[in-house]
Every structure is written in C-alpha cells, then in structure tokens.
Structure 1
Amino acid sequence: MRFESSVSIDATPQRVWEVFTDIERWPEWTDTVDSVELLDPGPLKIGSRARIKQPKLPVGVWQVTELVEGEYFAWVSKSPGVRIAAGHHVESTPAGTVARLTIDQQGPLGALMGRPLGKLINRYLHLEGQGLKARSEQA
C-alpha cells in the first residue's frame, strides 16, 4: 500500500535537502514527530539508523537504505508482519523545489494496517510537507 504527498517550496533544493536530512531537528518543524534520536554518529548515510517517536504510532527504528546526496533518501522500519519504507525526494523546478514524501507498507500486515491508518498517514505526510516548506522558506 502506497501513500504520497508533494509540496512546492520557494527555496533552493540545497536548502530543502539541509532541512530534510537534519532529522534530529524534525520535531522543531512538524507536529507529526515527537522525538528523533540518531543512533549512528555523523551525517546521514546508507546504514544510518534513527529511533523516531510519533503521536499515535509505535516508536520505530528507521535505517537508511538508499541515499543520493542532495536528491533523495529512503529508509525502512520493520516490525513483525510489516515493512514500512519512507522516501524523501527533493526535485529542482524553475520556481524552486518540489519535495515528495512517500510511504510504502508491505508484508502480511502492511495492507491491514494501511487501511485503518491511511487517513492518519496521509495527514502526517501533508503536515510534514507543510512543515518542511515553512522551515525551508525561513530566511
């Protein structure tokens, strides 16, 4: 089951990327994240892990599985019966930047969880996009 949200941002792709990848500061700009604890020191890279606490959801450990500097990173969180992959895309446009957020739920419980949580997931993706936009557009 896939969920996706995009937002246009009046900022450079570099600025949006800086905000997106400074994951420990996410609670400052989105109400969808209570806390982020980076479990591996240094800049975000393939293999980096973070523990994330979100309202109404269980605490998850996310591990970066793909990263193209300045453009995209994806990470995965696993629990029994479900694998959740989240993508964070930054695309340059003539007007600035488009950020695209994706969630893919897989596994035997993925579809079962996706249906009742779908409204919450879509809301969170929208709020995260709006928070990213506001933070990225700050001077």
Structure 2
Amino acid sequence: MFSMRTAALTVSLAVAGLLGTALPHAQAAPAAQHSDASVCRGAGVDPAARIRYQADIVIDAPLSTIWKLQTDVEDWPSWQAPVLTNERLDHGPFRKGSLFRWTTPAPATPTTPATMLEITSTVRQLQRGACVLWSGPAIGEGLRIDEGVHLWRFEKVEGGVRVHTEETWTGAQVEADVPTATAALGWGLEGWLRDLKAAAETRDGRR
C-alpha cells in the first residue's frame, strides 16, 4: 500500500506510471476544445493526448506569494520534497522561452527499473500573475515520456486564489497503459497543488 506521501508525489515522479492503483474519486479531464479557462495566451495542453488530467484548489494566500513559489523554479526543492534539483538554463526574468531542468528519483516497478528522471521544460506561454504553460520530455533509464504539456492558471476568488492546473502526456510507454498513467498523473497534480497550498499559506503566515 502506498503511503500518503507517495500519493502526493509531484507529476515529475508520477510520470513514470508508478502508481498502479486506481485513483479514488478522481476523473480525467475529457478531451475537448480549449475554453478560456484552459489556455494561457491562446495556448493550452495537447487536445489529442490520450492521457490528461485537471484539478483545482483555493489557496488562502496572496497571488504574489503563490506566483513566486510556482515560477521561482530553482526554489522548488525547498517545498516539494520529491524535486531533488532544479536549475534555470537561461537568465533573467521567468518568461516565454525560459528553460529549466529538474530531477526526481523514480522507484522500481514490476516493469521498470529504479532510475533518476530528468525533466527539461520550456515555457511556451506566460502572462505574469495569471498563467503559465510549459512542456518538455521526462527521461530516465528505462522510463520516458515524450512530451508533457502543463498549464497553470491563477485567479483571485473569495477566500484566496483559485489555482487551476491541467496536463497531458504523450509517448508510447505511458500510452501502453492509459488508466494507470492517468491515475499517476492525477496523484501527481493533486499532490503538487497540496504542496503549493501548504507552502504558500505557511510562508504568508496564514497557517
């Protein structure tokens, strides 16, 4: 049985298809045309991808705190335990075209070896304080996702800021078992949101 911490691993770890159990009470986002809530400057996740998931959370913290946590990518290891390293591959403000490379361990499964995943992400679109979209491959020894496309949107609402995230995966390995990969993606995104909420509310002194 997986521990709650395992269930809360970020998408970087879930990308390996590690969680073989069904995801309770979670449903993948249906394939559809992008709505206004599912794009960043007109761009969104892959509408043709077979593996997709979306989730939301309301965080009781200022938008500026949440935005800084999410876009100061080199600081991710301080609030996301599964992220071991993260480095910017460019300089200056986080913007469209920015590159970052991050790593996370992936334990062995019945069909794949234990390995270290390396994810190289490129920011495809960004609107400061509102949304960001990045994409890229995740590669490890015996594990690979050809492309993950990840959207984040931020909106002030009563009680704080609603954070919306969507992601799609493509690649032969993950598409060989769509239900398991979708469950893994779901656990990863839900865990990421919980970690972001805990970090933002703690740093802002709300908790």
| TM-score for both structures, normalised by structure 2 | 0.60
> Is 1:22 paired with 2:86?
no
Q: Give 1:121's aligned residue.
A: 185
What residue is the counterpart of 1:65 in the other structure?
A: 124
Count of aligned pairs: 139
The answer to whether the Cα contact below 8 Å between 1:26 and 1:36 also exists between their aligned partners in 2 is yes
Larger Rg, first or second structure (1 or 2): 2
SS in 1 for 2:69: helix
Find the aligned partners of 2:81 and 2:186 in 1 and give their Cα distance.
14
Choose which of 53, 56, 68 in structure 2 pairs with 1:6: 56
SS class of match (2:124): strand
User: What's the offset of the Cα at 1:111?
Assistant: 2.9
In structure 1, runs of 5+ residues without a counterpart are none
Question: Where does residue 162 of structure 2 map in the other structure?
Answer: 98
CA shift at 1:92, angstroms?
Answer: 0.9
What RMSD, in angstroms, separates the aligned Cα atoms of the two structures? 2.1
Contact kept, 8 Å, 1:7 with 1:129, in 2: the verdict is yes
Higher strand share: 1
Cα 1:4–1:24 shift into 2, 3 Å? same
Task: Give the one of 62, 67, 82 matched to 1:32.
Answer: 82
Distance 1:66 1:99, change over 3 A: same
Deviates more, 1:10-19 or 1:53-62: 53-62
Q: Which has the higher helix share?
A: 1
Q: Is the 8 A contact 2:137 2:148 kept in 1?
A: yes
Structure 1 residue 109, shift from structure 2 partner: 5.3
- Corresponding residue SS for 2:105: coil
Give the match for residue 194 of structure 2. 130
Q: Distance in 2 between matches of 1:43 and 1:130?
A: 26
TM-aligned CA deviation for residue 110 of structure 1: 5.5
Matches within 5 A, 1:47-62: 47-56=97-106, 58-62=117-121
Secondary structure of 2:61's counterpart equals coil
Counterpart residue type for residue 71 of structure 1: A
After superposition, the Cα gap between the structure-2 partners of 1:96 and 1:85, relative to the gap in structure 1 and judged at 3 Å, is same
CA contact (8 A) 1:82 1:110 kept: no
